[in-house]
Chains A and B, each alone.
Chain A
Amino acid sequence: MKNISKNSMIAFGLLAIMGVFPFFANSAWIAIGTTFLVFSAVAFSQDIILGRAGAFHMGHAAFFGIGAYTTAILNVHFGWPILATWAPAVIIPVVIALLVTGPIIHLRGDYLLVATIGINIVFIQILENDLFGLTGGPNGIFGIEVIKVFGFEFFEQIHMYYLAFILLGITLFIMKSLDSSKFGRAMFYINKDDIAAQSMGISIRYYKLYAFAIGAGIAGAAGSMFAVQYSAVSPEAFNVLQSIMFFTIVLVGGSASLPGVLIGTFVMFILPEIFREFETARYLVFGVAMILTMILRPRGIWPVKFGNIPSFLKKDVK
C-alpha cells in the first residue's frame, strides 16, 4: 500500500484514536465525542458539495434537519422503530435536495450561496409554522425512542458513540471511493476549470446535483443519529447559524482535506463545548479566531497540498 498519502495516514491515526477514545473517557465526554463524530460526518458531506464540487452551499443544516425530522416524525407520530427510519432519513433528504437545488444549481458563486441560505430559511419557517401539523412548531418533537435490535436496546452513550463512529467510517469510505471514481475526477476538473471541463463533455449540472444528492444523504443519516442521541429535535438545531458553522468548518479546516475537516469540526464545535464557562464572550473570541485563521492561513488550517491531485495522476510521477 505505498500509494497511501501522508494525509490519509494521519487521518487513519486520528480514526484509531477516536476508536479507543470511549475507554478512557467518562459519559459526558463520550457524549461530546458522539456529537463530534456526527458533526464530522455532516462536515464531510458539506465538503463534498463545497470543497469537492465547489458549489457555494450555505444551507446544509436543512438537509441535516430533514434527516433528523424524518426519524423523529416517523418514530413519534407513526410508531416506526428507529432502524426502519434510517432508509427514509437518507432517501428523503436526497429527493428534497434534488428537487430544490435542481432549479438553482446553475447559479454562480455568491448567488448560489444566498439561494442555499434561502433553502435553510424556508425549511425553518416550515418547521416553525408547523406546515403539515407534524413538526411540532417552535418546540420541535421530543420523546424519540432508543434503537432496539432483537430486544437489545442501544441506550448507553457508548452505543451511540460507536454507531456514530460507524457512520463516520462509512462517510470516509464514500469520500475515498468518490475520489478514485469517475465522479471524483470530474469534480477535480470542474473545480480547477469549469469551462475547460464543460468543453471536455463533463456535465457540470449533473455532477453538482450528484454532489448535492450524496451530501444530503450523508447529512440526513447524521441527522437521524443526532435525533436519536438527543431524543428530541427542534428548529434551532438546524437554523442558518448551523449552516454557517458547517460552511466555516470546511474553510477553516481546509476544503477537500480529510484531516482539515476533522480539525475544523474540532475547532468549531468542540472547543466551544469545552469552553462553556466563558459562555458570554466565547462567540466573540470565536469570531476573532475565524478572522485570524483566514488571515494567517487563507486556505485553512490543514490545506490539501499540491492542489488535490487525485492519486491516479500521481502514480506515474513516482
Chain B
Amino acid sequence: MDIFLQQLVNGLTIGSLYALVALGYTMVYGVMKLINFAHGDLVALSAFVGLTIYTQVFGEGITSLIAVITVFMFTAAVIAVVGVLLERLAYRPLRTAPRLSAVVSALGAGLVIQNAIMLIWGPNMMIFPSNLFPSTIWNFNGIVITFTQLMILGLSSVLMVGLYFFINRTKMGTAIRATAIDQDAAKLMGINVNKIIMIIFIIGSSLGAVAGLFIGIYYRGVTFDMGWMYGLNAFVAAIIGGIGNIPGAMFGGLMLGLFNALISGYISSSWAETFTFVLLIVVLIFRPTGILGEKVAEKV
C-alpha cells in the first residue's frame, strides 16, 4: 500500500508535467491538425535557457522567490518567442500544403532546435542547481512529498484551471474554439486566424517552458535530446485524453503519469514505454477519438 501511495504522488507529479506539455500539442493539433514534433524540443530548450538565466543572472548560490519567479517568467517569454518564430518560419508557409509536408517540416524544426541546444550548451548532461526550491520534505507515514513536487502539482493545477477558464469563459477563448472547429467560418466571422494561431503558440510554448523548467528542477539532469521522449509521452497522453480537447490533455497527462509510475513501481521501469504504447492501442481500440474525445465522424 505504501508503494502504491508513494507512486501515486510521483505519478501525479510526472503526470502534471506530461499534461502541461500535452496542452501545447493538443492546442496546436486542434487548430492546425498538425503534430508539432518540435514541441518536445522546445521543452528541452526551456530547461537549458532557464538554467543559463539562473546561473548567469543570479549566480549559483542565491535563491529567493524573486529569482525563481524571474527565471520562470523570462524562460517562458523566451520560449514563447521561439514558438511563435517556429510557427512563422516552419509552419505558416505550409498551411495549405499536403498534411505530411508540414509533419516533415515539424520534424526538421525539432532537429534544428535539438542540435542548436547541442551546439550552444554541448552534448553532455547539465545539472540543475538543487537550491532553486527549498529542500523541505514532508513524510506522511512513509509517503514522502518534496517541496518541488508540491510546487509542480500546485502551479500546474493553477495553470490548467486558468487555461480552462481562459478557453471557455473569455472572448479570446471563444475565438480559439471557433477557429478549431472551422477555420474558414471563423475567418468569415471576423476572427483573425493568424493571430489566434500565434496566441496558441504563445500559450502552448509557455506551458511547455514551465514543464521544461520543472523537469530540470525535479530530475536535475538535462540533456539536449531529452525533449523527444517527453514530447512523445505527452503526445500519447494528448491522444489518450482525446486530441484537440483541452480537459482531455490534462486528464490524459495525469492518467499516463500515474500509469507510468505504477508500472515502474510494480513491474519495471525499463518496459515503461512498451506499456505506454500498449495502453495507447487499448484506448484507441475502445475509444478511437480518445477517452474524452467527441464521437464525431470525420468530415469527408
The answer to the question of A103 belonging to the interface, with a C-beta cut-off of 8 Å to chain B, is yes
Contact B112 A104 (CB under 8 A): no
Give Cα A97 to B94, complex, Å. Answer: 32
Task: Spot the interface stretch: B113-121, B172-180, B182-190, B212-220.
Answer: B113-121
Chain A-chain B contacts (Cβ-Cβ < 8 Å), number: 120
The answer to the question of B100 belonging to the interface, with a C-beta cut-off of 8 Å to chain A, is yes
Interface residues on A, range: 35 or more
Contact A118 B108 (CB under 8 A): no
Chain A residue numbers with a CB within 8 Å of B271 are 125, 129
The answer to the question of B101 belonging to the interface, with a C-beta cut-off of 8 Å to chain A, is yes
> Known contacts being A115-B277, A129-B271, is A109 close to B99, with CB within 8 Å?
yes
> Known contacts being A125-B270, A251-B100, is A115 close to B280, with CB within 8 Å?
yes
Chain A residue numbers with a CB within 8 Å of B94 are 294-295, 298
CB proximity of B124 to chain A, nearest CB, Å? 13
- A221-247: CB near B (< 8 Å → 1, else 0) gives 000000000000000000010001001
Contact B108 A284 (CB under 8 A): no
Q: Is the interface of A mostly helix, strand, loop or mixed?
A: helix
Give Cα A159 to B12, complex, Å. Answer: 57
The answer to the question of A110 belonging to the interface, with a C-beta cut-off of 8 Å to chain B, is yes
Q: How many residues of B contact A (CB 8 A)?
A: 47
Give Cα A152 to B108, complex, Å. Answer: 45
CB proximity of A119 to chain B, nearest CB, Å? 8
Contact A288 B108 (CB under 8 A): yes
The answer to the question of A178 belonging to the interface, with a C-beta cut-off of 8 Å to chain B, is no
Q: Which residue of chain B lies nearest to A115 when distances are taken between CB atoms in the complex?
A: B281
CB proximity of B93 to chain A, nearest CB, Å? 4
Chain A residue numbers with a CB within 8 Å of B281 are 103-104, 115, 118
> Known contacts being A103-B281, A110-B35, A114-B280, is A286 close to B111, with CB within 8 Å?
yes
> Known contacts being A107-B284, A118-B280, A288-B108, is A298 close to B115, with CB within 8 Å?
no
Contact A104 B104 (CB under 8 A): no
Contact A287 B274 (CB under 8 A): no
> Known contacts being A107-B284, A288-B112, is A294 close to B101, with CB within 8 Å?
yes
A118, A247, A291: which contacts B105 (Cβ < 8 A)? A291
Residues 49-100 (chain A) with a chain B CB within 8 angstroms: 56
Give Cα A287 to B288, complex, Å. Answer: 33
Q: 7 tightest CB-CB pairs across the interface, nearest first? A: A290-B108, A118-B277, A287-B111, A298-B97, A287-B112, A284-B115, A287-B108
* Residues of chain A whose beta carbon lies under 8 Å from any beta carbon of chain B: 56, 103-104, 107-111, 113-115, 117-119, 121-122, 125-126, 128-129, 195, 240, 244, 247-248, 251-252, 255, 280-281, 283-284, 286-291, 293-295, 298-299
Interface CB pairs A-B, < 8 A, 5: A107-B284, A110-B35, A281-B115, A294-B108, A295-B93
